[in-house]
Structure 1
Amino acid sequence: MQTDNRLFDDLARMASGALNAVTGLKTEAETLVRQQLESFVSSMNLVTREEFEAVQAMAAKARDEQESLAERLARAEATIASLTAPKAKEATSPAKRKPSAKT
């Protein structure tokens, strides 16, 4: 019986060693694949998620500012149009015209 226990102990140690080797190999393979993917992504000039979100926030802010400026410009144009419209009518009204000199 003692030899059976020793045999099982040896098998357990071998299995444990093999499992450790496989685990180490798995970790090494994951690291290698990660490095290759990072190299591939960097060669494609892709942006990170953080960079994308930062630019997206900047674009949203710029869009809001542009809409605000467009509204402001429309109000300014309306004000200018209301101020210049009566003067244009006065200039073309017949009562304000100078009498033409008849020869």
Structure 2
Amino acid sequence: MADKLPEDIIQSVAIGNLKSISEQPAMLSNLAYSNTVNNTNLSQQNAVSFQQAMNDLTLSVVAKASNTISNLTPLEARSAVDILSNNELAQTIADLKSTVQAFAN
């Protein structure tokens, strides 16, 4: 039995194996926590990116609406005034109704 390893070497290898096995749950727990933190970080980055995209879209919609309102041609401006303040359409409809009733009697 000259090939037999000394007892202190066998014991140190066994202790080293036990140490690495006993540290494994802590390392796995740290890895899981790291993955959770990373996923939360990516989720927050996506939320901020989506919010910025919505802000850009809102800005462009408001700019387009403002441009449409402020750049009216004279004909469009007059038409808007007639529709909002003058009741010519209602008067024309009433005239047509009265004409139809006159011929019906």
TM-score by length of 1: 0.50
Counterpart position of 1:85: none
Q: 1:48 and 2:88 equivalent? A: no
For residues 67-101 of structure 1, the C-alpha deviation after alignment (integer angstroms, 9 at most, x for no partner) is 6xxxxxxxxxxxxxxxxxxxxxxxxxxxxxxxxxx
* Cα distance in 2, alignment partners of residues 6 and 50 from structure 1: 62
* Cα distance in 2, alignment partners of residues 49 and 18 from structure 1: 43
* Cα drift, residue 64 of structure 1: 6.5
**Residues 1:43 and 1:49: Cα distance change in structure 2 (over 3 Å):** closer
SS at match of 1:48: helix
Runs of 4+ in 1 over 3 A off after TM superposition: 60-65
* Cα drift, residue 59 of structure 1: 2.7
Q: 1:5 and 2:36 equivalent? A: yes
Q: Which runs of 5+ in 2 are unaligned?
A: 1-31, 100-105
* Cα distance in 2, alignment partners of residues 35 and 44 from structure 1: 17
* Cα distance in 2, alignment partners of residues 8 and 44 from structure 1: 57
* 1:1-103 map, 5 Å: 1-40=32-71, 42-46=72-76, 47-48=79-80, 51=83, 54-62=87-95
* Cα drift, residue 6 of structure 1: 0.7
Q: Which runs of 5+ in 1 are unaligned?
A: 68-103
Counterpart position of 1:93: none
* Cα drift, residue 49 of structure 1: 9.3
Percent sequence identity over matched residues? Answer: 6
* Cα distance in 2, alignment partners of residues 28 and 19 from structure 1: 14
